[in-house]
Amino acid sequence: MTVVDESKTADVQFRTRLVRVVVSVVVLTGVTVVLGYGGWIVLTLTATIVGYDPETADGELLRDRLLEWPDRNREVMRSNGRTSLPLKP
């Protein structure tokens, strides 16, 4: 009969869970940065390499609006929502 050392099994399970959590955090952080704030970088590269530079309905370049978006949101948060909301990107 085989005797399993429970402390080694618990360590392996803990390590496995810890690795999964760390990998998840790293991947989600990367995806958030690339999709959230990296949109400007992607659109700038696309405009430079391919020549495709999308515009908003009012004619403003989408990449310029995305670059200004975090600053606009910060202004609203600092005023406790008392200023007008920024335009959507």
Would 20 be classed as within a structural domain?
no
Local confidence band at 29 (pLDDT 50, 70, 90 cut-offs): confident
State if pTM tops 0.85. no
- Check: CB of residue 65 under 8 Å from CB of residue 56: yes
Residue 16, token pair as written in the block: 């496995």
Measured between its terminal Cα atoms, the distance across the chain in Å is 65
Most confident of 15-19, 26-30, 58-62, 85-89: 15-19
Express each pLDDT in 31-80 by its tens digit.
766 666 677 777 788 888 888 888 878 888 887 877 777 777 777 777 87
pLDDT at 86: 64
Would 33 be classed as within a structural domain?
no
> At which residue do the structure tokens 């590269």 appear?
45
Domain of residue 62, residue span: 40-89
Residues 6+ apart with CB under 8 A from 46: 52, 53
Would 12 be classed as within a structural domain?
no
